[in-house]
Structure 1
């Protein structure tokens, strides 16, 4: 399938459903695809989706073109930003959804102004995303760059992401995720979670975030879980990370809640273990540059800080570490000094 150069195509919500007979399918985007600019176009349709690929294996989406979600009409009525408005909407379309697809390649195109999440990867195996650009305003609500859930073997590399929410967010039942050579900003950083909101069993393994640059993001590398969750997050590597004026460079929050401090304490929690931070450099806008707020019921264990140099964004200020129920060790120079429990 070819979207030719020099043309702009208005496309209403559309699903490409497999399975397909060919072992490889090429979708070449050289021109521009735009969404309807009014939410009215989704009446009677799935409000959470725009372009969907489902059960399509061996798919390659490539090209020098652009996909424009024209999300402003949704941003103006979404409850996350306009909860006081009668009739505000909680759900808005994702530009590109890949559902139950295997051996997928997504490369080179520009994806802009999604109403909500830009790219969704759910129930997929062996996905490669590279040389992609994702852009939406810092003020656009819930516009994650790439969200991954229930997927295994996902590779994101050489990609630029700027949005109003997480550059990359990693949900439950994921493993073998590799995020390398990525520029993130503006946005909320790279997040694992939030996990366990419904009290479910969480399984997240082997997450690797390597050579990622964060520019003026709200968070840097973050793990967030709800107290009512169960299960585990383990085998996480953050390596060769650079922060520029990041508000919360390193954060684990096992007390995540819609309203900070409003969730009652429980005796459950998601076990976070075997997390390594290695070669972390840059500047923090906040005083607490390393914030490990772990569960009293299920503490964080086997956390390693290896060669960390974080300085304040404003000369003359100070940065510190803050730990609750966090057990681990340090290697090399660690500034600010670690605060692990013995």
Structure 2
């Protein structure tokens, strides 16, 4: 059987340990799960395409990734994992001359270990419990079959300046470098049937973990930290990726905890803890008058502490496309500055952006069971486009108080909102005004 072209890139940098993996499985694997219908509580006729596919959380993560013989796993362990197949060949970087003393250049050893692992029928590539110093590496396929990469803690790929990828938290003092043109800490691209588990990533100069053009991905138990004022240090970044499950991650950085951008579809996140940082964001979308599409996004279970935003959708003026079929539910806010925010006038520039008529549409968004405190007066803000108002926005069982007081405000412009159950604060009846209520 002819092998498809597959690519796996592993990218370490001395000034910032960077780990990039790009892999395509040997067989096409279609998106395989459907959500269960939750139309009973809402008007399914109003939003038929959305409520026929939404999940209430009970079956949210069952069978997201189909079991396959062609899987790439990246894990970290306290010892070499014995759960892999007994027939799998263990390929240790130490067997190819890696010193792991934090000083010696171990790049060649990693390249040689990868070549052997990739050409094996089934293999586990292991970086044992040492500190490796590695230059940029590109790992390419095709590989013969299943491949697992194990990082055996506590530390992997430490540079003199930058951050660490390791299995258990370790304190690290660094001299922060300019973020311009700095590398991402860990990037996966064009990967299928991918599992990433049990990693701690610390003090990246830009995005810590990025998934680009991937399909069928499971991410769990990541711990990501960076200084609160470090710019562009998103925790997990999802772009042009389909069918990805992110669970049980703790993220505290200087930018978005979780960011989901153009081309992403069927993204599910659960049990996410954020703080510090900018919260959970969809976008930004539509910059430079571009088209952008995201859909079928579910965040079910999150806690945010002291973030500048809670759950945010942000789009630029002049863009086009849509952000649709989005659900935020079972979320706690603790002293969050903008707990619920849709901003179709997003402008991340020093000078004001010019007003434009075109906009990325925002439609069919559900906020359910969201409680906690706001650090600002405005707990809910829907600042939608005059030309393309936000449609199908639903609030159910919302209770957001002002930190230190018992009232909060909602500001809602150019938005179609339906409220179910107890919603506090409520959108005002007249646009441009605030509505306050006494929260319980």
Which TM-score band applies after superposition, normalised by the shorter structure? 0.7 to 0.9
Please list every run of 5 or more consecutive structure 1 residues that lacks an aligned counterpart in the other structure: 40-49, 52-62, 79-89
Matching of residue 9 in structure 1 with residue 132 in structure 2: yes
CA contact (8 A) 2:270 2:299 kept: yes
Hey, what's the Cα distance between the residues in 2 that align with 1:107 and 1:337? 40
1:126-173: CA deviation from partner (whole Å, max 9, x where unpaired):
111011111112122211001010110011001111111101101101
Indicate which of 167, 177, 180 corresponds to 2:270: 180
Identify the range of structure 1 (132-141 vs 92-101) with the bigger mean alpha-carbon deviation.
132-141
Hey, what's the Cα distance between the residues in 2 that align with 1:175 and 1:261? 33
Q: Which residue of 1 aligns with 2:324?
A: 234
1:262-286: CA deviation from partner (whole Å, max 9, x where unpaired):
1111110011000000000000000
CA contact (8 A) 1:161 1:167 kept: yes
| TM-score, with length taken from structure 2 | 0.66
Indicate which of 397, 411, 414 corresponds to 1:322: 411
1:177-210: CA deviation from partner (whole Å, max 9, x where unpaired):
0010111111110000110002122111000011
Q: Which residue of 2 aligns with 1:65?
A: 167
Displacement of 1:175: 0.3
Displacement of 1:315: 2.7
1:298-321: CA deviation from partner (whole Å, max 9, x where unpaired):
1101100101000111136x3100
- How many residue pairs were aligned? 306
Runs of 4+ in 1 over 6 A off after TM superposition: none
Displacement of 1:20: 1.8
Secondary structure of the 2:423 match is strand
CA contact (8 A) 2:321 2:360 kept: yes
Secondary structure of the 1:15 match is coil
Indicate which of 219, 234, 246 corresponds to 2:309: 219
Displacement of 1:13: 2.1
Structure with the bigger RCO (C-alpha within 8 Å, sep 6+) is 2
CA contact (8 A) 1:66 1:112 kept: no
CA RMSD of aligned residues (A): 2.3
Indicate which of 416, 427, 436 corresponds to 1:338: 427
Q: Which residue of 1 aligns with 2:282?
A: 192
| TM-score, with length taken from structure 1 | 0.84
Q: Which residue of 2 aligns with 1:42?
A: none
CA contact (8 A) 1:326 1:341 kept: no
Please list every run of 5 or more consecutive structure 2 residues that lacks an aligned counterpart in the other structure: 1-124, 432-440
Hey, what's the Cα distance between the residues in 2 that align with 1:67 and 1:331? 43
Cα distance change of structure 1 residues 261 and 287 upon mapping to structure 2, 3 Å threshold: farther
